[in-house]
A and B are shown apart, each in its own frame.
Chain A
């Protein structure tokens, strides 16, 4: 059942708006942007910046009983005005522009104009709105108010009180969303200063969202501070791989370095937030220890191979073991891989007659907001493709036993350090063939006969299916280091050498996959788009 619609007029255009929304949201419906600082759709109304002023007329019953349109003598703030049937709104007029120019001037008179050294430059609402409403020359010849300029608010956030425009978004967020009422204003009037009580700095898993929320450079991320100008950052839509929530995010990168992750809107998943753990979990992409070349290890010495060489050698060794009969090969994949990676992994396993296949589950404490206990982004994909056992990880013991008893002679591991999951180096040492497909060196790659360097989430495309059954896409932002390449390409190479060629793009692989896996029937690659699609999974 849809919401009742309210008919009103904005700038002379008729609008039908859902009942209960404010005028900023109503104007968005017809593509009109009402400028604002303190308003945020996820936070309670503060109404303090006074930038979103508009002219409003409402219908009142006139003296003869007929409705009469009455214009408010004063300008009204749009954020706190709910749509009313028959309302008329003007969002831009000389009077309104003058009022906004007044607000803009007031915001800038004590502002330190740190743009040359401020991280916010290029994504700063003050800069952007100053273009429309600011003065070319300042009329303020007095001394500006001085406030503390470099105060750490906990280890993740740096506060510059001179830049703060006291919109209170951060205060409202910490209190109402993060659930940690720790920010407030001391002083009064023009000397009001954002602060927190000493020893009670923000310490939630959501603090860095206030950096996104801050319309100016008052709150900046210590992690990103002075690292890169935002206008140099390529923005790539992706999905956070830190847990099964699948928060929608943007990778900010330049050339082949990832500089930051920031959340993007998805009403169905993370709204506008992401957790700090996920946000800061990108350094592995640029880790200098990244595996760069295919390696072969023989009698203690390590040799660099080409992709053609390593694929050929691994394929023929695996084929030989298959043809020798018996269930001698096991596969351990990762629920951090994309669904396409896992689909090919399963296909490869199937062609080799593998029955012992599973993933390594990762669990951690969930929080009240976004972070989920399942710390893999694609457990649902691992289950759907048949890589994960039911429940995930329940076959690892069998694999360990099989190796210990000598039945399993070969192990293909993708993206997991299984020595932390009950299959230690002593067991790995018993294998006659250990193939490790991974990004970073670990105990498994150090023991492997063949090392195939793979890609991080930031270097490939594919899908994750989150813990609520939503399929979402990741996209490549940077190139893989050296000769590392996406897992799907590595696996396609192996499959090809084993006589089972597959599609040569991830999109083509997805199409094949969507024919085969029932929950994906009718869900096209295009439909997944940037917001994902909710699957119906029993």
Chain B
């Protein structure tokens, strides 16, 4: 018998389905699956068949999504599902003990449910809270800086009340003298709630009318001349990307905000979304105006459930004041912003993987060319921009490109929010002028130095996809060119510090496990090579290494590097190659059979 979905639920789904154009309603499938799973607890055959019928898809089109996106499950989980992050920064600060403690306290193995149906525990990859690890999520809520006593308290609270308590956002510390806060200024004010009124009081929504006073081409030119580079990971010049938009295709132009922050070591987009949603909205509106888009989708990672609610509320606030929707501020410009929740997969942060996911499919990155600016979402010209990039746009429009070029250094103008995590006393987000602060200053002055009294051994400067830098590179300035000259890349700005007490082979294994887990599986080298690297490192870590494993590992990494459809190949290969190059002795010791 077919599923009988409650009327209110179906109405809510119909509303969400309407966010996507006619003929592309498949794009609503992640929403449907999220809401059905929230209601029914899991996605069995009934839910799959209902969804397929509702969206006029083949059952396989729906079914193949459930095992691709880890937030979905075919079997029931506990009423309170606990996810513990196991990525490299959290591993560095002891997530293992939290995971172990949970298993003991609850008496449950991972991926199983306690007999009372209340709890289940999973180890997951990076939750974008690396500066406050160890962390865990219980349903939609995130708990940070955990010690076992916190776990006991939280579990007891749930047992007592039957509810998950939403922790308050910790206030941001005041700016350090080495910081140059621009994006982080308003959100750091004591009492700032991110509401529309707070944002207006902080001077928000003044750039938008200023942009309307310019022609769209002038707006693009302002951003192009600012030389702003994308803050997601690739550092591509934003104005150049906007110029590539094919405005003569006859198809609508789309803006997609990449809010899928999943690069281990990176947690700055989370701050922007959770603390100052209107800054992002204003940046989206200005960008849409510039590139001729009437619709923007914010693709927000599924784990940012609270963030999606915060953004939705902010959009409605904005709509009520004629800042979103038709004829914004009487400008004649219409713009709709829709939230699109992901369901857990790092590869959705790759711009064409994101687009495939947004269209309702498995997030398989596309072969490029064509690039999204020509053929992107729904085969229409599309710009995909990172959250922080979009949040920078209002300031450039407000103060002008010259002002922006007075910040930072040539090739890396402006400020950037660095995410600092790992073996430091004060992990967190720090907004600095690019090129004006060194790694050493970030770690010692801003970060308070290493936290175990041990010297720095390795620094990953741009999220776990980037090659490590050895300690003799600590005086590198934090800008694109200097980091590249030093042998790595600025990437996402996620700086992970490893000290001499860190087990490098273990960290390499953690990184390799991440990429093997996150590989979409589409192309041969990444699909097979990432898991092979994990297996070799696992053996090395367990004391089952062989002398030939070190060169073998390097060779496997070399066969993945440069041969794949998307950059996940490089992201998987480069860190391992760098660890092998700089810390070969550690690996040789492991290969000789010693436990590391």
What's the Cα separation between A39 and B523 when bound, in Å? 13
B528–A109 touching, CB < 8 Å: yes
**Bound complex: CA A184 to CA B530 (Å):** 22
The distance in angstroms between the C-alpha atoms of A186 and B520, with both chains bound, is 11
Give complex CA distance A107, B529 in Å. 9
A183 and B60 within 8 A (CB):
yes
A74 to B345, alpha carbons, bound, how many Å?
Answer: 27
User: Across the interface, do B524 and A103 meet the contact criterion of CB distance under 8 Å?
Assistant: yes
Q: Which of A138-146, A252-260, A289-297 contacts B (4 or more CB under 8 A)?
A: A138-146
Contacting pair B536 A142 (CB below 8 A): yes
Interface string of B506-549 (1 = CB under 8 A from A): 00000000001111111111011111100110010000001010
A190, B525: Cβ atoms closer than 8 Å: no
* B527:A50 contact, CB within 8 angstroms: no
Query: If A106-B525, A184-B60 touch, does A190 touch B563 (CB 8 Å cutoff)?
Result: no
- With a cutoff of 8 Å between Cβ atoms, the chain B residues found around residue A313 in the complex are none
* Contact A189 B532, CB 8 Å, known A48-B565, A75-B562, A103-B563: no
* CB contact between B345 and one of A99, A140, A185, A188 (< 8 Å): that residue: A188
0/1 interface trace, chain A 44-64, chain B, CB 8 Å (1 if under): 010111110100000000000
Contact B564 A196 (CB under 8 A): no
Given the known interface contacts A190-B516, A190-B528, the answer about A75 and B563 at a Cβ–Cβ threshold of 8 Å is yes
Minimum CB–CB distance for A141 against chain B, Å: 8
**Quick one: CB contact mask for A173-198 with B, threshold 8 Å, 1 for yes?**
00000000111111111111001111
Asked if residues A181 and B563 are in contact (CB atoms below 8 Å), the reply is: no
- Which has the most chain B C-beta neighbours within 10 Å: A45, A107, A191? A191
With an 8 A cutoff between CB atoms, is B68 at the interface? yes
B531 touches A48 (CB 8 A): no
Decide if A392 is an interface residue (CB 8 Å cutoff). Answer: no
Residue-wise, chain A 269-304 has the 8 Å CB interface mask toward B (1 for contact) of 000000000000000000000000000000000000
In the assembled complex, the Cα of A196 lies from the Cα of B59 at a distance in Å of 9
**B362, B523, B531, B532: which contacts A185 (Cβ < 8 A)?**
B362
Residues A185 and B525 in contact, CB atoms below 8 Å apart = no
Within 8 A of A (CB), among B351-369: 362, 367
**CA of A317 to CA of B52, assembled, Å:** 69
The answer to whether the Cβ of B48 comes within 8 Å of any Cβ in the partner chain is yes
- The yes or no answer to A166 lying at the interface (CB within 8 A) is yes
Bound form: Cα–Cα A512–B265 in Å: 84
In the bound complex, how far is the Cα of B543 from the Cα of A313, in angstroms? Answer: 90
- Is there a chain A Cβ closer than 8 Å to B5's Cβ? no
Asked if A188 contacts B519 (CB within 8 A), the reply is yes
> What is the distance, in angstroms, from B249's C-beta to the closest C-beta of chain A?
20
User: B158 contacts the other chain (Cβ, under 8 Å)?
Assistant: no
Produce 1/0 per residue, B415-442, CB < 8 A to A.
0000000000000000000000000000
B269 vs chain A, min Cβ distance (A): 23
A102 touches B519 (CB 8 A): no
B251 within 8 A of A: no
What interface size band does chain B fall in?
35 or more
Separation of A187 and B521 alpha carbons in the complex (Å)? 9
Q: Which residue of A lies closest to B364 (CB)?
A: A48
Smallest distance from the beta carbon of A336 to chain B beta carbons, Å? 38
In the assembled complex, the CB of A339 is this many whole angstroms from the nearest CB of chain B, namely: 44
Residue B58 CB within 8 A of the other chain: yes
With a cutoff of 8 Å between Cβ atoms, the chain B residues found around residue A196 in the complex are 60
B564 close to A190 (CB less than 8 A)? no
CA distance A51 to B61 in the complex (A): 27
User: Is B63 touching A197 in the complex (CB atoms < 8 A)?
Assistant: yes
Chain A residues with CB below 8 A from B535, complex form: 142-143
Tell me, in angstroms, the Cα distance from A50 to B345 when the chains sit together. Answer: 23
Is B64 in contact with chain A by the CB < 8 A criterion? Answer: yes
A185 in contact with B563 (CB, 8 Å): no
Identify A47's interface contact among B60, B517, B565, CB under 8 A: B565
The answer to whether A189 and B524 touch across the interface, beta carbons within 8 angstroms, is no
Report B398-422 CB contacts with A as 1/0, cut-off 8 Å. 0000000000000000000000000
Contacting residues, chain B, for A80 (C-beta < 8 A): 367
Question: Given A109-B532, A185-B362, are A192 and B527 neighbors across the interface (CB < 8 Å)?
Answer: yes
Q: Once the chains bind, are B61 and A181 in contact (CB under 8 Å)?
A: yes
| Given A47-B367, A49-B524: A189 touches B531 (CB 8 Å cut-off) | yes
Question: In this assembly, does A123 line the interface, its C-beta being within 8 Å of a C-beta of chain B?
Answer: no
Q: Is the CB of A197 within 8 A of B58?
A: yes
Identify the interface centre among B362, B523, B524: most chain A CB within 10 Å of its CB: B524
Contact with B along A114-138 (1 / 0, CB 8 A): 0000000000000000000000000
The answer to the question of B559 belonging to the interface, with a C-beta cut-off of 8 Å to chain A, is yes
How far apart are the CA atoms of A181 and B68 in the complex, in Å?
18
B67 near A: Cβ within 8 Å? yes
Interface string of A248-268 (1 = CB under 8 A from B): 000000000000000000000
The listed residue (B64, B518, B519, B522) touching A48 by CB distance below 8 A is B522
Cβ-defined contact, B58 with A200, below 8 A: yes
A181 and B58 contacting across the interface, CB-CB below 8 Å: yes
List, in ascending order, chain B residues with CB within 8 A of A497's CB.
none
Q: Does B200 contact A (CB under 8 A)?
A: no
Which residue of chain B is the closest to A200 with respect to CB atoms?
B59
Min distance, Cβ A418 to any Cβ of chain B, angstroms: 45
| CB nearest neighbor in B for A171 | B60
**Least Cβ distance of B550 to chain A in Å?**
13
The answer to whether B523 touches A50, judged by C-beta atoms less than 8 angstroms apart, is yes
Check if A235 is an interface residue, CB within 8 A of chain B: no
Q: Is the CB of A188 within 8 A of B64?
A: no
Judging by beta carbons under 8 Å apart, are B563 and A102 in contact? yes
In the assembled complex, the Cα of A243 lies from the Cα of B539 at a distance in Å of 60
Q: How far is the CA of A187 from the CA of B565 in the complex (A)?
A: 19
8 closest A-B pairs by CB: A102-B559, A192-B521, A106-B528, A197-B59, A189-B519, A190-B531, A142-B535, A184-B64
The interface of chain A, by Cβ under 8 A from chain B, is 45, 47-51, 53, 74-75, 77, 80, 99, 102-103, 105-107, 109-110, 139-143, 145, 165-166, 181-192, 195-198, 200
Report 9 cross-chain contacts, Cβ distance below 8 Å, ordered by A residue.
Answer: A53-B563, A74-B562, A102-B559, A107-B524, A107-B528, A142-B532, A185-B521, A186-B66, A189-B531
Q: A-contacting residues of B (Cβ < 8 Å)?
A: 45, 48, 58-61, 63-64, 66-68, 345, 362, 367, 516-525, 527-532, 535-536, 539, 546, 548, 552, 558-559, 562-565
